[in-house]
Amino acid sequence: MADYNVNTTGNTGPIQKGVSRPKPNPKWGREEESEMFAQNVKHFRQKKLSDDDFRRFRLQHGAYGSRLQMNYSMIRIKVPSGEVNPEQLEKIASLSEAFSIGSAHVSTRQNIQLHWVQLEDVSEVMTGLVEAGLTTREACGNTVRNVMCSHFAGVCPDEKFDATPYAKAIARFFIRNPMCQNLPRKFKINFACCDNHGLARIADIGLIPEIKDEKRGFKIYLGGGLGAASFIGHLVEDFTPESKLLPTCMATIRLFDRHGNRENMARNRMRYLVHEVGWDKFQRLVFKERSIVEMTTANYTSKLFDVKAEEETRPLPKAVNPKMVKLPMLNERVTLESPAYERWLHSNVVPQKQDGYFTAFVTLAAGDITANQLRILAGAIREFSAEGTARNTPQQNLAIRYIRAVDLPDFYNRLGSIGLANPGALTIASAVGCSGTTSCNLAITNSHRLAKEVEYKFLELGLDTDDSLRDSTIKISGCPNSCGQHEIATIGFFGGASRIGPTMAPTYTMLFGGSAGEQSELGKAIMRVPAKRVIDTIRKIIEIYKQERSDSETLNQWINKIVRGEGTGSVRNIENMKASLTPLMQLLPVEKDPEVYSDYGNDARFSAKTARGECAA
């Protein structure tokens, strides 16, 4: 097949992958911060630094305490806008091998986490990260956390413009900024690419690119967020011009800093402030504060917000020769019997707005990836992605963009060689799970393992090939806090402990009908499900859906209808649904079936053990 590579100058050439030169080192990290960390660990061990002071310092620098073992840390590597280059992936691989557990973990907020690092080695990891231009600074603690950006930004067919440079510029402006070193609580900023993709309405500040009168700007949402109590963000105004982007963000953070609740840790996120003050009043406060910011911010300060500096300077391909044949399989049906490659194409590959280029998703089970996989993947990104970088996704997968159609089979084979060619990334099979009892102090259940079990089972059953399930999502958290983002899932779960008869058992509260995007909805709690019955329960729901659905209705649409009480068959509403599922919740006594009373990944008798959370300090 003839194939052409078109660069921005329009020259066509013979077969070349058209891969751009590597990106410059983004320099998010600073070496002196790792030295200071090493110094402070020593001072802490010598008791020259109090527990509280040290914890605050530690979190400010991205090292989170590990589950009931404070001598170990989870290191949260910030990946602003989710963009991570091959050198960084290789560095993370070697650091995870040397100092962590030989694998890395993609979080739901585009961080990459290394678990069980000895406190004494954290500075060594930081030093390595700085070499690769990465940082852990303000990845935890009461600061502006990693600034997210939709992984489709720049390639999304529906986007008004690429939000990536704005996300990075905002991240650059607020990191180490004195105005957000001691907020009442953490603060999250999410950029979307379009109305459908991204998590704009579940962040403190969520932004969707918009164009009005040929001018760039954003739809900005404030006061959203998931947690023990969740809220959907409110729209500030129909259109916020680009020039008011920074003042709006600064004004919001200043209001939060001044009025946020510093007393009650359970209610100190900004969404509670917005809720208590009331949106109308908060909105007026934002406008007022924004005029003050605009009038008083020094020119020097405003210039520190530099979108231009974050823009892509390399010529990226616009499109390949339009005559080139498009991928035939993307929109066709596949089945469990289809060749593995076709199944993968169907559920892991999407076309970009750049004709002939595709984004391929690497399915990671609950976000886990080994050092060796990272290394081979880094090589594949260099070889096959014309932009030469990857983006991590809130679904805990990796998106490799700018792959030419003609290269997809080779790319697939490369992934296959390291066990990363599983299908299902963009389907119900790609379950999200926070780290749960594998490492988190707050976790009650092993949501991480459960998410993996769901994924393995669903792929085995071929649910990734069922297009009626494709727009449904499963998201699992190990406690009511929403790191697993269970409230925006079609079917979400959060972990707890229940007494069943005389025995404690791990259970999950199941929620229906959550969604992300601009039309975000929070899921509604349905019922408690024993951990070991979660998979059977989801399968039962699918079975009922198949009996009840009207023609082309997807599972997601049907579940939303049930939540609204608008079902048309024998299961009309949540109450009917509960009744149909109740038989599944019946457990034999513990003596007869001890296994259902234990949690995934642990044969020992279940007990709910938690310690102080470190989200705030």
Partner 1 sequence: MTIENASRSKTDTKEDIVETNKNYDFQLPIICDVDTLRMLIRKDGVRVVDVRKTEEYRQEHIPSAVSLPLAQLLEKDIPTAIMDILQNLGISDKMPVVIYDNTFGALAARVAWSFQYVGHPNTALLEMTFSQWKNLGLETETKINSFPMKTHSLTINHSIHADASYVEAAKEHPNKILIDSRERLNFLTEHIPKAKNIPYTMLGSNGSILRSPEEIKRYIENRGIPVDAEIITYCGSVGTLSGLTYYALKLAGIENVRLYSKSFREWKSLGKPKEEFKDANYWDLSAD
Nearer to partner 1, 31 or 543 (CB): 31
* Choice from 416, 569, 601, 613 touching partner 1 (CB under 8 A): 601
Nearest-angstrom CA–CA distance, 242 and 333: 42
- Per CB under 8 A, does 99 bind partner 1? yes
- Which lies closer to partner 1 via its Cβ, residue 307 or residue 451? 451
What does the H/E/C string look like for 217-235? EEEEEECCECCCCCECCEE
**Sign of the Cα pseudo-torsion (294, 296, 299, 303, in order):** negative
- State the minimum distance, in angstroms, from the CB of residue 64 to partner 1: 14
How big is the chain by its Cα radius of gyration, in Å? 24
Taking CB under 8 A as the binding criterion, the range among 50-58, 96-104, 376-384, 574-582 that sits at the site for partner 1 is 96-104
Give the interface segment with partner 1, choosing from 183-191, 331-339, 430-438, 489-497 (CB under 8 A).
Answer: 430-438
Spatial CA neighbour of 400 closest among 451, 326, 452, 344:
344
Least distance CB 424 / partner 1 (angstroms): 17
Q: What one-character DSSP code corresponds to residue 260?
A: S
Q: Binding of partner 1 at residue 609 (CB under 8 A)?
A: yes
Is there binding between residue 504 and partner 1 (CB under 8 A)?
no
Instruction: Give 72 or 174: the residue with its C-beta nearer to partner 1.
Output: 72
Burial class (CB in 10 A: 0-12, 13-18, 19+), 13: exposed
The DSSP H or E segment spanning 584 is helix 574-585
Is 88 a binding residue for partner 1 by CB under 8 A? The answer is no
370 binds partner 1 (CB under 8 A): yes
Out of 20, 85, 100, 422, the residue judged to bind partner 1 by CB under 8 A: 100
Q: How far is the CB of 363 from partner 1 (least distance, A)?
A: 12
Whichever of 446 and 482 has its CB closer to partner 1, that residue is 446
Q: Which residues sit opposite 571 in a β-bridge?
A: none
- Rule CB under 8 A: choose which of 188, 290, 449, 549 binds partner 1: 449
Nearest CB to partner 1, comparing residues 102 and 157? 102
CB 244 within 8 A of CB 496: no
User: Which C-beta is closer to partner 1: that of 127 or that of 580?
Assistant: 127
Number of residues that bind partner 1 (CB under 8 A): 46
CA angle 308, 309, 314 (to 5 degrees): 90
Among 248, 354, 437, 465, binds partner 1 (CB under 8 A): 437
Question: Which of 95-103, 252-260, 506-514, 557-565 is the region at the interface with partner 1 (rule: CB under 8 A)?
Answer: 95-103
Stretch that binds partner 1, among 49-57, 246-254, 458-466, 593-601 (CB under 8 A): 593-601
Among residues 270, 286, 365, 463, which is the contact residue for partner 1, using CB under 8 A? 365
Q: In the complex with partner 1, which residue's Cβ is closer, 108 or 123?
A: 123
Q: How many CA atoms lie within 13 A of 548 on its CB side?
A: 23
Closer to partner 1 by CB, 112 or 245: give it. 112
Following CA atoms 33, 36, 41, 45 in sequence, which dihedral angle do they give, to the nearest 10 degrees?
-170
Measured from the CB atom, the residue of 137 and 448 that comes closer to partner 1 is 448
Closest CB to partner 1 among residues 472, 598: 598
**Where does 501-560 show beta strands of DSSP type E?**
503-512, 524-530
Side-chain-side CA neighbours of 421 within 13 Å: the count stands at 20
User: Which of residues 132 and 542 has its CB atom nearest to partner 1 in the complex?
Assistant: 132
Name the minimum Å distance from CB 411 to partner 1: 20
Calpha distance 163→180 (Å, rounded): 23
- Across the beta sheet with 63-66, the strand order is 63-66, 69-77, 112-118, 103-106, 368-370
Rule CB under 8 A: say whether 230 interacts with partner 1. no
- Residue among 338, 348, 373, 422 that touches partner 1 (CB under 8 A): 373
Contacting partner 1 within 109-128 (CB under 8 A): 115-116, 118, 120-121, 123-124
Q: Within positions 18 to 77, which residues make up the interface with partner 1, using CB under 8 A?
A: 38, 41-42, 45, 66-69, 72
Q: How far is 403 from 417, CA to CA, in rounded Å?
A: 18
Using CB under 8 A as the binding rule, whether residue 94 contacts partner 1 is answered as: yes
Binding mask 143-182 for partner 1 (x = CB under 8 A): ----------------------------------------
Residue choice 23, 109, 269, 448 for contact with partner 1 (CB under 8 A): 448
Q: Does 614 bind partner 1 (CB under 8 A)?
A: no
Q: How far is the CB of 599 from partner 1 (least distance, A)?
A: 8
H or E stretch covering 493? strand 491-500
Q: How far is the CB of 72 from partner 1 (least distance, A)?
A: 8
**Minimum distance, C-beta of residue 188 to partner 1, in the bound complex (Å):** 24
Taking the C-alpha atoms of residue 160 and residue 243, their distance in angstroms, rounded to an integer, is 17
The DSSP symbol for 78 reads: B
CA 266, 59, 398: angle at the middle one, nearest 5?
95
**What are the phi and psi torsion angles at 103 (to 5°)?**
-150, 160
Q: Which is nearer to partner 1, 83 or 368 (CB)?
A: 368
Cα 68 to its chain centre, rounded Å, is 25
The pair of three-digit structure tokens given for residue 329, joined into one six-digit string: 């399989």
Cα–Cα nearest to 469, from 487, 494, 447, 491: 491
Contacting residue, 53, 97, 242, 410, with partner 1 by CB under 8 A: 97
Residue 235 in contact with residue 281, Cβ under 8 Å?
Answer: no
Enumerate residues 6+ apart whose C-beta is below 8 A from 431: 366, 450, 451, 452, 454, 455, 458, 474, 475, 476
Which residue, among 189, 254, 175, 172, has the nearest Cα to 224 in the 3D structure? 189
Please tell me whether residue 600 binds partner 1 under the rule CB under 8 A. Answer: yes
Question: By the criterion CB under 8 A, which residues form the site for partner 1?
Answer: 38, 41-42, 45, 66-69, 72, 94, 97-103, 105, 115-116, 118, 120-121, 123-124, 364-365, 368-370, 373, 435-439, 446, 448-449, 452, 599-602, 604, 609
